[in-house]
Chain A
Amino acid sequence: MIELQLQFSSIGEFFQMGRYTFHVWAVYSVFAVFMGYNLLMPLWQRRQFIRAQRQLQRREARRAGAADGPSPDRNEGSTTA
């Protein structure tokens, strides 16, 4: 049905892309950067979010623990507010 025919006889010819080395490879480079950034950036942002939230939760847990009962190092000596 569709005849697939390799259009280049050598690796060098492939990289040369006829007279259009720069134009063809510039477009495919732009495409690679575009895809890479848009796939990795959201995942990186998600990691940052989880890290920040976990820190926040730990801080909240510590504060909650301090409110429940006197913690040894912070509330020493102060029995009344």
Chain B
Amino acid sequence: MWVWFSRLGSPRWFYQWSGHWLPWLYAAMIVLLAIGLPWALLFVPPDYQQGETIRIMYVHVPVASISLACFPLMAVAGVITLVWRMKLADMVAKAVAPVGAWFTAVALATGAIWGDPIWGTWWAWDARLTSLLIQFFLFIGVIALRSAIESPDAAARACAILAIVGAINVPIIKYSVEWWNTLHQPASNFSTEAVAPNPPEVWVPLVIMIAGVYVFFAITLILRVRNEILQRERRAGWVRELVGSAK
């Protein structure tokens, strides 16, 4: 376990290991989205209240739920950076910030487009919407903080602390729909014991889309971490070799 842990911390090892897995991730993403997207667009029955806008859910819910995973990931990477000084952890923390900002922005945008026909408004200062907007600003803040500090070590530590402190917002976003009874509806209950169970025609494609978007998230994060590794290790022999032999 510890051997594995310290090996995973080696940027070079991660670069080679992720290069081996990337083709499989691309294949998994293509298969999942090739099933999920046509299913969501063509085969899901229109909702009895929302009509065809139910199809928006198959983009909005996966993107929004993954946007909530980004901040805890950045906070965990921050803890590892502070405690073990693992170089790779800080590279992940740096790479996940713009990814998290993107996912949060797309969750807000698709939510606004969905809100217009369903709630009659693009935006409201609802608890869920406001806390998610704060998350977007926190990601922007982390990115700005890193670029504002010249010393990479000091920047890594400052960003780690901001990520850990900012993670307090995540449970607030998650439970906002239960703590405050405002506009955004609570998460759907997809268990079979629910009062009105959702039919599998509705939730199976959602699960497929969530899995597909998760793989997409992994791919774009890994690609950014790999770029960060190359950038920081550019003086190392293996990177120089790679540059020389790359097409």
Chain A residues in the interface with B (C-beta under 8 A): 1-8, 14, 17-20, 23-24, 26-28, 30-31, 34-35, 38-39, 42-43, 45-46, 49-50, 53-54, 57
Across-interface contacts of B219 in A (CB, < 8 A) = 39
Asked if A7 contacts B46 (CB within 8 A), the reply is yes
Asked if A2 contacts B204 (CB within 8 A), the reply is yes
Asked if A20 contacts B52 (CB within 8 A), the reply is yes
Chain B residues in the interface with A (C-beta under 8 A): 39, 41-46, 51-53, 55-56, 59-60, 63, 99, 102, 106, 109-110, 113-114, 116-117, 200-201, 204, 216, 219-220, 223-224, 226-227, 230-231, 234, 239-240, 243-244, 246
B interface majority secondary structure:
helix
Asked if A31 contacts B52 (CB within 8 A), the reply is no
Across-interface contacts of B55 in A (CB, < 8 A) = 17, 24, 27-28
Q: 8 additional contacts, CB 8 Å, given A46-B223, A46-B230, A49-B231?
A: A6-B43, A18-B46, A18-B51, A19-B117, A24-B53, A30-B59, A53-B234, A53-B239
A interface majority secondary structure:
helix
Asked if B117 contacts A8 (CB within 8 A), the reply is no
Report the Cα distance A14→B43, complex, angstroms.
11
Report the Cα distance A49→B114, complex, angstroms.
39
Lowest 8 A-B CB distances belong to which pairs? Answer: A42-B223, A18-B52, A38-B220, A17-B52, A53-B243, A31-B59, A27-B56, A27-B110
Report the Cα distance A43→B246, complex, angstroms.
13
Write the nearest CB–CB distance from B238 to chain A, whole angstroms. 13
